[in-house]
Homo-oligomer: A and B are copies of this chain.
């Protein structure tokens, strides 16, 4: 195996990102963390999500075998969503990501501010010359 190409190892990252990288997936999984809930309940828990995106995200998660969907035909209809055992295996990963963000995101924000300052400073110096 050639060390010049990390694609083989890297595709694992691509795969997992393919699943959780879109805007709402992680939040939906997180909202299902504590057990079965209904469509409307998920929507209420996730601030700002549109019906379209929620439906689309859930459908994708169902297709990937991470979430199961149970329809109770009644009027009005009831649709429950639950993490599958496979879906539950993602929870530790998500906790780790959450932990990282909680611990290190402030540093990232500080870095961004410094970067903007340095950038502005450079621009000023440019103008003076």
Interface residues of A (CB under 8 A from B): 4-7, 9-10, 12-17, 19-23, 26-27, 30-31, 44-48, 62-66, 86, 89-90, 92-94, 96-98, 100-105, 107-108, 110-112, 114-115
Residues A13 and B86 in contact in the complex (CB < 8 Å), given A66-B108, A112-B64: no
Whether the pair A26, B15 counts as a contact (CB closer than 8 A) is no
B-side contacts of A98, CB under 8 Å = 9, 12-13, 16
A12 to chain B: closest residue by CB: B101
Whether the pair A12, B112 counts as a contact (CB closer than 8 A) is no
Whether the pair B13, A111 counts as a contact (CB closer than 8 A) is no
Q: A19-B108, A65-B111 are in contact. List 4 more A-B contacts (CB 8 A).
A: A9-B98, A12-B105, A13-B26, A15-B105
